[in-house]
Structure 1
Amino acid sequence: MIHLLAVLLSAAAFTALALSIKRHQRDFAGRALTERESRLARTGGWSLVGLVLAIDIAVFGFGYALVAWAGQLTMGAWLNVAWLCWKTGASRKN
């Protein structure tokens, strides 16, 4: 169950990090964000990445945590890429 939580937090982290990039803001937020909102998204995204690592270290210990963290971040990033591909593909059809 902790892996599912970590993957969801990783997906949220990568969503926030994508929101901090101008070219992804319309895909995720539907509008361009202000500089302050972009900065907050970037800070929140990196904070969530660190939180996932902290949770993994607390639950699994340092050695296994790094392996689990890498896999969980990969899955979170993949979920964002898949969603972006689906969203941009769906918008091209309309």
Structure 2
Amino acid sequence: MEGYCPICRKVISLSHPLCDQAEKWFHSASGKKVWRIRQLNRYAYEYVTEEEYNAMQEHSSLILSDARSWDDFDGSTFTGIDCRGERTSIFSNTP
């Protein structure tokens, strides 16, 4: 599973380590709700905070092929509380 750095847009995955900008962004998102979205006809995921997600929806219609969110995100472990109430990684494919 690949995603984009929220700042520089470089590809991030288990085989591509996070760049410094991505690490800073994830750390700054600690305690917030974080979304992992994939827009229709795009391969890689995007990571956005709840505020960024809402702003994206206000500016244009979002057509997504996949979307998941985590509450109480922890930027040091890259985990949050998923829809099942469990603390899971934002990089996991498990629903």
What TM-score do you get using the length of structure 1 for normalisation?
Answer: 0.23
What TM-score do you get using the length of structure 2 for normalisation?
Answer: 0.23
Which structure has the greater CA radius of gyration?
A: 1
Higher share of residues assigned strand: 2
